[in-house]
Amino acid sequence: MRPKDRSGFSIAIICALTVEADAVILLFDEVYDRYGDEYGRHPGDTNSYTVGTIGKHNVVLCYMPEMGKASAAGVATKMKFSYPGVSLALVVGVCGGVPLLPYSNTPIFLGDVIISHAVVRYDYGRQYPDGFKRKKGIPENLGRPNQEIRTLFQRLQTSMARSDLQNDIAQYLEVLRRSEPRWQYPGKACDVLFDASYHHKHHQQATSLKCLCFNSESPGQICQEAQESSCDSLECDENRIIRRRPSDAAGASIHFGKIASSDTVMKSGEHRDKLAKDEDVAGFDMEGAGVWDELPCIIIKGVCDYADSHKDKKWQAYAAATGASSAKAFLRYWNPASSEATRNWMRGNQQFTLYIRKTAERLTEAFPNNDHTKRNLWRSYLPHALSLLEEDEFKGQREQYIDLLENIGDCLSTLILCRVWHV
Ligand SMILES: [Zn+2]
Ligand SMILES: [Zn+2]
């Protein structure tokens, strides 16, 4: 249903590039307002929005004025004021990918999608003459996602859910590919992976006087002109290609993994592989960490390059299309048990404490001690009871509900005993 005002939007999608936002808008089921004027914004909010629906969700799409963590954080903060009901932000678009996940030996190809609920901030540290040292003992691995996100991730990783998700993605991708030629699959010939130690640089003496890279093997010395040139024009050695795409079928595999987020673009095969091994990351982006601090967040990104010096933009539009398709597919499964939007609204109206008290009283009735005849009833209430225990408002009143807590404990232990018995 079309919301009355901005508080009725519960999902935000944040995009850094226009091409990413374009793909998302094409997959909206309904656009209420292309430029966000009808719903207005909070005073001081300079963000741009498009609002509409994706599936059953009211969604606000938010554009970033520029790439990077600080910009993402700024956008997310302002959005929280204008759209106070948002309970989940999806950061959707393109990212660099790790070609081979070291711990599972799973290959990632261009156009594949990384879905992540864990962000590693890898630029937190100091640059020393002999290299960059990451600081330990600080929150470089950002906060744990909330329980609803963790539960959904577990569900999506089952083989049945994964194959449903994959089918949905293929279907949405087809919608995009039919709409405009720019979303087409680029073809297997442009998916090549160079040896991580082989740099994209002038292999011949350059015409530019500013070239530093012809005589250097340092990845930090690649000159501007080389950075802006293609592998073909620099004649990067095809003998140093270590992997080609095996099949020419379009489509996207999904990978669940961590995203490493930083303000600098990852353009080094060696650093990429080291971080993949040390931190078990699957991809690299520049926005995730910024949004992470502000809102419960999931990052859904199509892989557009291998985060090495040879990276170019040939796969950017297609990867934006697979990222947007995956975000839409993901939202089909996002069905939080309790609506965060309602909760935020109640908090704003000082009704939440009352709501918590009523919920606790109702649960006290539903959890009679040792009454196994009502087992199905209290079992159905158990998820609500567990989420109640996590509410800060309840934690403050816990002492009044000792009986309820004991009964929940008894019911849980009965369930565990039943499970052990069945095993
Ligand atoms: Zn050069
Ligand atoms: Zn190259």
- pLDDT tens across 224-241, in order? 889 889 999 999 999 999
- Tell me, in angstroms, the distance from the centre of ligand 2 to residue 312's CA: 9
Distance from the CA of 198 to the center of ligand 2, in angstroms?
A: 8
Of 243, 263, 283, the residue that ends a domain is: 243
CA–CA dist 99, 269 (Å, integer): 10
The domain boundary residue, chosen from 198, 219, 243: 243
Contact 16, 64 (CB under 8 A): yes
pLDDT of residue 296: 86
> For the domain that residue 123 is a member of, what is the CATH number?
3.40.50.1580
| Domain final residue, candidates 292, 307, 333 | 333
pLDDT score of 134: 60
Domain shared by 222 and 115, yes or no: no
Q: What spacing in Å lies between the alpha carbon of 92 and ligand 2's midpoint?
A: 27
pLDDT over 80 (residue 131) = no
Domain identity same for 235 and 273: no
Whether residue 292 is found in the same domain as residue 348: no
Tens of pLDDT, residues 14-47: 999 999 999 999 999 999 998 878 899 988 898 9
User: Cα of 105 to ligand 1 centre, how many Å?
Assistant: 35
Do 168 and 88 fall into the same domain? Answer: yes
pLDDT in tens, 183-213: 999 999 999 999 999 999 999 887 767 788 8
Same domain? 55 vs 100: yes
| pLDDT at site 23 | 98
Tally of structural domains, the chain = 3
What is the reported pLDDT for 135? 57
Given a cut of 70, whether residue 136 has pLDDT beyond it is: no
Whether residue 376 lies inside any domain: the answer is: yes
**Is the pLDDT confidence value at 323 over 60?**
yes
Residue 322 lies in a domain: yes
Domain-located, residue 1? no
CA of 208 to the centre of ligand 1 (A): 7
Q: Ligand 2 mean position to 280 CA, how many Å?
A: 26
Question: What residue has token string 């087809």?
Answer: 174
How far, in Å, is the centroid of ligand 2 from the Cα of 156? 37
The pLDDT assigned to 200 comes to: 93
How many Å apart are CA 348 and CA 407, to the nearest integer?
Answer: 32
Residues 299, 382, single domain; the answer is no
Q: How far apart are CA 94 and CA 287, in angstroms?
A: 11
CA of 226 from ligand 1 middle (Å) equals: 5
Question: What's the CA-to-centroid distance between 229 and ligand 1, angstroms?
Answer: 10
Judge whether 385 lies within some domain. yes
Least confident segment among 45-59, 130-144, 198-212: 130-144
Return the pLDDT at 14. Answer: 96
Verify that 161 and 62 share a domain, yes or no. Answer: yes
Q: Render pLDDT for 404-420 as a digit per residue (tens, 0 to 9).
A: 888 888 877 776 665 55
Shared domain for 360 and 371, answered yes or no, is yes
Q: How far is the C-alpha of 332 from the C-alpha of 57, rounded, in Å?
A: 9
The pLDDT value recorded for residue 222 is 85
Position 151 scores a pLDDT of 81
The ligand minimizing its distance to the Cα of 210 is 1
Q: Are residues 21 and 81 in the same domain?
A: yes
pLDDT tens, residue by residue, 238-286: 999 999 999 877 779 999 999 999 888 888 999 999 999 998 999 999 9
Q: What value does the mean pLDDT of the chain take?
A: 85
Considering the domain boundaries, does residue 111 fall inside one?
yes
Entry pTM: 0.78
CA of 244 to the centre of ligand 2 (A): 14
* Residue 87 predicted with pLDDT over 90: no
Q: Read off the tokens for 132.
A: 């960059």
Kindly state the percentage of the chain with pLDDT values over 90.
Answer: 44
Pair (132, 232) in one structural domain: no
Do 265 and 371 lie in one domain? The reply is no
Decide if 313 is inside a domain.
yes
**Residues less than 5 Å from ion ligand 1, measured at CB:** 202, 206, 211, 213, 223, 226
Domain identity same for 132 and 19: yes
Hey, what long-range contacts does 100-103 have (CB within 8 A, 24 or more apart)?
100/276, 101/255, 101/257, 101/276, 101/282, 102/273, 102/276, 102/277, 102/280, 103/280
Say if 5 falls within a structural domain.
no
pLDDT per position as a tens digit, 345-402: 666 667 777 778 887 887 887 777 666 677 766 766 776 677 777 777 788 788 888 8
Distance CA(336)–CA(387), nearest Å, equals: 11
pLDDT on residue 75: 92
Residue 406 falls inside a structural domain? yes
Task: Domain of residue 386: give its range.
Answer: 344-421
Inform me whether the pLDDT recorded for 81 exceeds 50. yes
